[in-house]
């Protein structure tokens, strides 16, 4: 009964979305108030229906309803409650339902927080979001229905992939999707502005907080995914340039460019076309990512079960949404007026150079991700493009951007000079160079790459400190200033973490019998023994390791080798001792003769700074949301009707 309710609610939500896509947009075009006022109530209704639908699916999981095919495929009677809930989005169908549910959440939020926005604009924004929703719900209903029944019901489910039975499942996808889907708001604002034929600084001001919020979620979502992969796969890697990872990283890069471009458009009314194009591109990349993950076009560890029919559907959806947006852009963009003038060297121009670098980076990631497909489609053979490629091209493109980001806050709007900037920042430059030379030498291994990383991190951190020092001298700076500094500092922390771990991590594969010890990164590991333990739905071998430094025992680590009832492949659960300046990581390999085990031990210096840096960036974003400039009340009469 419940699944059918959920199914029905989804169909009703489809109808609401269809109404939004037609009445609201037409109403805004023709000025029919009785249609435009449907914006807010329709968004609320849509949200409630999607909530009902999603809740119905979640309930089916929690209640172990194996007569629903999707539940039977992804759950099990022994699965703990929290993972039964998370399994709702553990597969293709459910994760799409989550996608649309979150879209409805963003939509109702926009409807709620736009009381002072011109009703035409609101109608258009909700209308566009409705159209996107329409397309995706159609996709779900026709090709990926999670409510399909399995009759007769299965006695038990096939179980959730053991890899996903982890807290990471509960947080990473929702957070990531909030970001992914959140860029639809900036997209909707951009389309609404193009439809109105009115692109101005006020539009940018409205888009900024929504874009910032989506960006925060995406930053956290990607960081969570990276951290999850790190502690769960047993290999200590944190980024693989896998197509699906790239699919989330490209919107992030474009989103970052968009955030900064919106600043220029908001403050100076300039580069409106560019900003609009970025807003369209960020969401288009989100949709493209959705396509890549679910169509089977690329091999990926994240790819859902693929079906060419689904691929065709999403491709058509992608073509319609992005194609019509870009066509609308091509039509309206020439009519947009130019904004204020500014110098060749000014904060505006520097922000734009940064934009170019970010877009080139995103395009390069796109090129690398799609190149195997390109070559295959042209019958030129089959190649792979993996981490060696991405690492080689990403660093040279982003390094100048990181250098730039320390300078930009010091450049004045409209026209700046480089001498005062150098005067202010030379200590940071000097500190960066000295650190780049000294620190790697002190640790014991110097390479150009490590030196570059150290330089960039210290340069940005130094610049932040200098700017804070200067600004605090003349009173309390606005929240926006703190936000910027915290976010940029996050970049410095991130770069430092990546450099240290990449340059100085140590790993050892050893054969350990109970009582044996091994030394890695200055830490001694001693295996006390390996026991057998029973989990809720698995059996495991659990090792007990004593970690000590200088004779002092600091931690006991318990890595496990689990065999789940549902899968024959054993899962490695590494044990990590996380610290401020390093992680110490142990994972069990294969059992060997004589009570011994193959053990892999890692020493990872500053690895947590990678995600710490991401947290700082997200924090910077959160602070930016509190800026009082966003509380600016735009009175309805300030907006001439378009």
Partner 1 sequence: MRRLLALLLLACAFCPLMAKEAPYLAQDPAVEKRLIDISEEMRCLVCQNESLAASQADLAKDLRQELREQIKAGKSDAEIRDFMVSRYGDFVLYRPPVKSTTWLLWLGPFVGMLCGLIALAFFLRSRRRDIQAAPSTLTAEELKTAEQLMQDGSK
Partner 2 sequence: MKAKFLIPLLLFFVLLGFLAVGLTRDPREVPSPLINRPAPDFKVSQLIQADQHFSPADLKGQVWVLNVWASWCVSCREEHEQLIAFSKRKAAPLIGLDYKDPRMDALKVLAQRGNPYDITAVDQDGRVGIDFGVYGVPETYVIDKQGIIRFKQIGPVTVEVLEKTIYPLIDRLKQS
Can residue 116 be called a binding residue for partner 1 (CB under 8 A)?
Answer: no
Shortest distance, CB of residue 418 to partner 1, whole angstroms?
Answer: 15
Among 34, 151, 380, 382, binds partner 2 (CB under 8 A): 382
Q: Residue 151's binding partner, choosing from partner 2, partner 1, none, with beta-carbon cut-off 5 to 8 A by kind?
A: none
Binding mask 141-180 for partner 1 (x = CB under 8 A): ----------------------------------------
What residues contact 264, with CB distance under 8 A and at least 6 apart?
A: 270, 271, 275, 348, 351, 352
Q: Residue 320's binding partner, choosing from partner 1, partner 2, none, with beta-carbon cut-off 5 to 8 A by kind?
A: none
How far is the C-alpha of 253 from the C-alpha of 238, rounded, in Å? Answer: 18
Q: Between the CA atoms of 412, 417, 422 and 425, what dihedral angle is there, to the nearest 10 degrees?
A: 0
Shortest distance, CB of residue 103 to partner 2, whole angstroms?
Answer: 22
Choices 114-122, 149-157, 209-217, 374-382; region in contact with partner 1 by CB under 8 A: 374-382
**Among residues 545, 541, 525, which one has the least CA distance to residue 533?**
541
Chain residues 290-329 in contact with partner 1, contact rule CB under 8 A = 299-301
How far is the C-alpha of 174 from the C-alpha of 179, rounded, in Å? Answer: 9
What does each C-alpha distance from 549 to 519, 521, 532, 555 come to in angstroms?
10, 10, 28, 10
Shortest distance, CB of residue 252 to partner 2, whole angstroms?
Answer: 19
Binding residues for partner 1, rule CB under 8 A, total 56
Can residue 360 be called a binding residue for partner 2 (CB under 8 A)?
Answer: no
Q: Residue 367's binding partner, choosing from partner 1, partner 2, none, with beta-carbon cut-off 5 to 8 A by kind?
A: partner 1
**Following DSSP, what letter does each residue of 387-421 receive, concatenated?**
HHHHHHHHHHHHHHHHHHHHHGGGSPSS---HHHH
Can residue 212 be called a binding residue for partner 1 (CB under 8 A)?
Answer: no
Shortest distance, CB of residue 374 to partner 2, whole angstroms?
Answer: 6
Looking at the Cβ atoms of 365 and 421, the one nearer to partner 2 is 365
Q: Which stretch of DSSP H or E encloses residue 101? A: helix 92-112
Among 397, 431, 491, 617, binds partner 1 (CB under 8 A): 397
Looking at the Cβ atoms of 165 and 246, the one nearer to partner 2 is 246
Among 301, 319, 356, 430, binds partner 2 (CB under 8 A): 319
How far is the C-alpha of 221 from the C-alpha of 475, rounded, in Å? Answer: 36
Chain residues 111-140 in contact with partner 2, contact rule CB under 8 A = none
**Distance, C-alpha 231 to centroid of its chain:** 18
Tokens representing 320? 């319609």
Among 26, 149, 414, 511, binds partner 1 (CB under 8 A): 511
Q: Residue 338's binding partner, choosing from partner 1, partner 2, none, with beta-carbon cut-off 5 to 8 A by kind?
A: partner 1
Whether residue 339 contacts residue 268, with contact meaning beta carbons closer than 8 Å, is answered with: yes
**Distance, C-alpha 117 to centroid of its chain:** 29
Shortest distance, CB of residue 254 to partner 2, whole angstroms?
Answer: 13
How far is the C-alpha of 587 from the C-alpha of 440, rounded, in Å? Answer: 28
Q: Which residues pair with 605 in a beta bridge?
A: 582
Whether residue 544 contacts residue 57, with contact meaning beta carbons closer than 8 Å, is answered with: no
Q: Which stretch of DSSP H or E encloses residue 371? A: helix 347-377
Q: Residue 383's binding partner, choosing from partner 2, partner 1, none, with beta-carbon cut-off 5 to 8 A by kind?
A: partner 1
Can residue 1 be called a binding residue for partner 2 (CB under 8 A)?
Answer: no
Chain residues 572-631 in contact with partner 1, contact rule CB under 8 A = 589, 598-599
**Helix, strand, or coil (residue 549):** strand
Binding mask 413-452 for partner 2 (x = CB under 8 A): ----------------------------------------
User: How many other CB atoms are found less than 10 A from the CB of residue 365?
Assistant: 23
Whether residue 192 contacts residue 125, with contact meaning beta carbons closer than 8 Å, is answered with: yes
Looking at the Cβ atoms of 212 and 273, the one nearer to partner 2 is 273
Q: Residue 311's binding partner, choosing from partner 2, partner 1, none, with beta-carbon cut-off 5 to 8 A by kind?
A: partner 2
User: Which residue is listed with tokens 């309930």?
Assistant: 59
Choices 325-333, 405-413, 451-459, 538-546; region in contact with partner 2 by CB under 8 A: 325-333
How far is the C-alpha of 439 from the C-alpha of 363, rounded, in Å? Answer: 34
DSSP 8-state symbol, 146: T
How far is the C-alpha of 95 from the C-alpha of 98, rounded, in Å? Answer: 5
Burial of 631 (0-12, 13-18, 19+ CB in 10 A): exposed
**Distance, C-alpha 416 to centroid of its chain:** 34
Q: Residue 512's binding partner, choosing from partner 1, partner 2, none, with beta-carbon cut-off 5 to 8 A by kind?
A: partner 1
Shortest distance, CB of residue 326 to partner 2, whole angstroms?
Answer: 4
Choices 7-15, 221-229, 377-385, 631-639; region in contact with partner 1 by CB under 8 A: 377-385
Looking at the Cβ atoms of 4 and 509, the one nearer to partner 1 is 509
How far is the C-alpha of 272 from the C-alpha of 352, rounded, in Å? Answer: 12
Among 18, 48, 51, 373, binds partner 2 (CB under 8 A): 373
Among 41, 308, 420, 515, binds partner 1 (CB under 8 A): 515
User: How many other CB atoms are found less than 10 A from the CB of residue 423?
Assistant: 10
Handedness of CA 220, 221, 223, 224 (dihedral sign): positive
Interface residues with partner 2 (CB under 8 A) are 273, 277, 280-281, 284, 291, 295-299, 308, 311-312, 315, 318-319, 322-323, 326-327, 329-331, 333-334, 370, 372-374, 376-377, 381-382
Interface residues with partner 1 (CB under 8 A) are 235, 242, 299-301, 338, 341-344, 349, 352-353, 356-357, 359-360, 363-364, 367-368, 371, 375, 380-389, 393, 396-397, 508-513, 515-519, 526-529, 544, 556, 589, 598-599
């Amino acid at each position: 009964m419940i699944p059918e309710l959920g199914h029905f609610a989804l169909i009703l939500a489809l109808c609401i979305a269809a109404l939004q896509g037609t009445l609201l947009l037409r109403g805004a075009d023709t000025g029919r108030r009785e249609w435009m006022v449907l914006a807010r109530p329709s968004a609320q209704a849509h949200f409630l229906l999607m909530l009902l639908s999603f809740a119905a699916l979640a309930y089916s999981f929690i209640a172990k309803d194996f007569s629903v095919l999707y539940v039977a495929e992804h759950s099990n009677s022994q699965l703990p409650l929290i993972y039964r809930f998370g399994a709702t989005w553990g597969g293709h169908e459910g994760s799409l339902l989550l996608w649309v549910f979150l879209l409805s959440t963003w939509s109702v939020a926009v409807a709620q927080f736009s009381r002072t926005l011109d009703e035409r604009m609101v109608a258009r924004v909700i209308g566009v979001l409705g159209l996107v929703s329409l397309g995706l719900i159609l996709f779900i209903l026709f090709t990926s229905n999670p409510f399909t029944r399995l009759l007769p019901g299965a006695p038990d489910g096939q179980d959730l992939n053991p890899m996903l039975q982890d807290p990471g499942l509960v947080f990473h996808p929702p957070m990531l999707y909030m970001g992914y889907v959140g860029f639809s708001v900036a997209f909707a604002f951009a389309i609404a502005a193009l439809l109105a034929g009115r692109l101005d600084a006020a539009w940018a001001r409205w888009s900024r907080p929504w874009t910032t919020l989506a960006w925060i979620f995406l930053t956290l979502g990607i960081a969570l995914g990276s951290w999850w992969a790190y502690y769960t796969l047993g290999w200590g890697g944190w980024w693989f340039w896998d197509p699906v990872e790239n699919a989330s990283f490209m919107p992030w890069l474009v989103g970052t460019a968009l955030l900064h471009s919106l600043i220029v458009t908001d403050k100076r009314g300039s580069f409106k076309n560019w900003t609009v194009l970025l807003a369209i591109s960020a969401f288009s990349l989100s949709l493209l990512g959705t396509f890549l993950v679910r169509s089977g076009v690329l091999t990926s560890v994240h790819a859902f079960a693929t079906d060419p029919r689904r691929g065709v559907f999403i491709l058509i959806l992608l073509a319609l949404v992005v194609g019509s947006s870009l066509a609308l852009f091509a039509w309206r963009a020439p009519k947009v007026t130019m904004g204020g003038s500014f110098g060749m060297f000014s904060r505006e121009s520097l922000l734009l150079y940064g934009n170019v670098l970010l877009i080139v980076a995103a395009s390069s990631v796109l090129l690398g991700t799609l190149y195997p497909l390109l070559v295959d489609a042209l019958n030129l053979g089959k190649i792979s493009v993996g981490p060696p490629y991405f690492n080689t091209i990403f660093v040279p493109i982003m390094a100048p951007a990181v250098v730039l980001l320390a300078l930009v806050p010091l450049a004045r709007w409209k026209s700046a000079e480089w001498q005062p900037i150098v005067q202010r920042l030379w200590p940071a430059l000097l500190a960066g160079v000295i650190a780049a030379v000294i620190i790697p030498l002190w640790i014991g291994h110097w390479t150009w790459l490590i030196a570059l990383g150290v330089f960039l991190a210290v340069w940005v951190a130094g610049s932040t400190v200098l700017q804070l020092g200067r600004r605090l001298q003349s009173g309390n700076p606005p929240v926006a200033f703190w936000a910027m500094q915290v976010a940029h500092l996050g970049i410095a922390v991130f770069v430092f973490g990546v450099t240290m771990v990449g340059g100085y991590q140590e790993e050892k594969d050893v054969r350990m019998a109970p009582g044996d010890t091994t030394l890695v990164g200055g830490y001694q590991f001693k295996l006390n023994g390996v026991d057998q333990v029973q989990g809720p739905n698995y059996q495991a071998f659990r090792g007990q390791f004593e970690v000590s430094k200088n004779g002092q025992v600091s931690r006991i680590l318990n890595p496990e080798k689990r065999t789940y009832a549902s899968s024959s492949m054993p899962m490695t659960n590494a044990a990590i001792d996380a610290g401020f300046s390093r992680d110490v990581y142990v994972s069990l390999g294969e059992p060997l003769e004589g009570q011994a085990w193959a053990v892999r031990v890692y020493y990872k210096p500053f690895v947590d700074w990678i995600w710490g840096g991401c947290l700082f960036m997200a924090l910077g974003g959160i602070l930016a949301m509190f800026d009082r400039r966003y509380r600016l009340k735009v009175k309805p009469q300030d907006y001439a009707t378009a």
